[in-house]
Chains A and B, each alone.
Chain A
Amino acid sequence: GNSVTQMEGPVTLSEEAFLTINCTYTATGYPSLFWYVQYPGEGLQLLLKATKADDKGSNKGFEATYRKETTSFHLEKGSVQVSDSAVYFCAPNDYKLSFGAGTTVTVRA
């Protein structure tokens, strides 16, 4: 099956700092890849996705590129805000899938 290895947190940043969360995948075939975000007290929601190699997903200033050569889907944002404080999860599209702990990001004003 498919799996991902995601950078462990927690990550603490100041506002306007650059954020990178590493995610690498192991796949049989070519899965779609997703980043989900969980804000405090809420369920997960889709942040962005990419369905094939070299696709770039983007949303809310976040970007991630599906790189087949490095089997990676790293999440980046150039200038974070306090409102970006959340837990971030990288995931492939699999029926049987546990998400792991995700990466907790705290942005300080």
Chain B
Amino acid sequence: EAQVTQNPRYLITVTGKKLTVTCSQNMNHEYMSWYRQDPGLGLRQIYYSMNVEVTDKGDVPEGYKVSRKEKRNFPLILESPSPNQTSLYFCASSLIVAGRTGELFFGEGSRLTVL
């Protein structure tokens, strides 16, 4: 089954404790992206990747890191989480066709709480 898998789905952590949210897709997609969803602010892009070793900032990259060492995986790293990073996070992937993204496939979301 074609899917985007995120882990963990739920996490409560404390300020400053490094954490990684994993994202894996089994569709051989070139493009992957991370978003955070907050009430009243919508779904904002954090980072995206066009292919292995190619990443770029979205609209809200501060406090986050990403890596793309393998095509299927695109982990989101919070080196020193703070309470303002409490949010619902989504990973998505897509083929790149004729130089553009196609349909985005989303994971089920990871709800992160930073105390």
Interface residues of A (CB under 8 A from B): 31-32, 34, 36, 42-46, 49, 89, 93-102
| B108 contact from A42, A46, A49, Cβ within 8 A | A42
Expressed in whole angstroms, the Cα–Cα distance for A38 and B103 within the complex equals 15
Expressed in whole angstroms, the Cα–Cα distance for A77 and B58 within the complex equals 33
Q: A31-B100, A43-B107, A95-B48 are in contact. Are A101 and B90 (CB under 8 A)?
A: no
Q: Main secondary structure on chain B at its contact with chain A?
A: strand
| B43 contact from A42, A46, A95, A99, Cβ within 8 A | A99
Interface residues of B (CB under 8 A from A): 4, 31, 33, 35, 40-45, 48, 50, 56, 58-59, 90, 92, 94, 100-104, 106-109
| A43 contact from B48, B100, B108, Cβ within 8 A | B108
Q: Return B38 CB to nearest CB of chain A, in Å.
A: 9
Query: By the criterion CB–CB under 8 Å, are B35 and A101 in contact?
Result: no
A residues in contact with B107, CB < 8 Å: 43
Q: Return B90 CB to nearest CB of chain A, in Å.
A: 6
Q: A43-B106, A43-B107, A43-B109 are in contact. Are A98 and B100 (CB under 8 A)?
A: no
Expressed in whole angstroms, the Cα–Cα distance for A36 and B104 within the complex equals 9
B residues in contact with A99, CB < 8 Å: 35, 42-44
B residues in contact with A44, CB < 8 Å: 43, 90, 92, 104, 106
| B42 contact from A95, A96, A102, Cβ within 8 A | A102
New A-B contacts (7) at CB < 8 Å, excluding given A44-B92, A44-B104, A98-B35: A95-B56, A95-B101, A101-B40, A101-B41, A101-B42, A101-B43, A102-B42
| B56 contact from A31, A32, A96, A102, Cβ within 8 A | A96
Query: By the criterion CB–CB under 8 Å, are B42 and A100 in contact?
Result: yes
Q: Return A31 CB to nearest CB of chain B, in Å.
A: 7
Q: Which 6 A-B pairs have the closest CB atoms?
A: A101-B42, A43-B106, A99-B43, A100-B42, A98-B44, A44-B106
A residues in contact with B94, CB < 8 Å: 93
Q: Return A99 CB to nearest CB of chain B, in Å.
A: 4
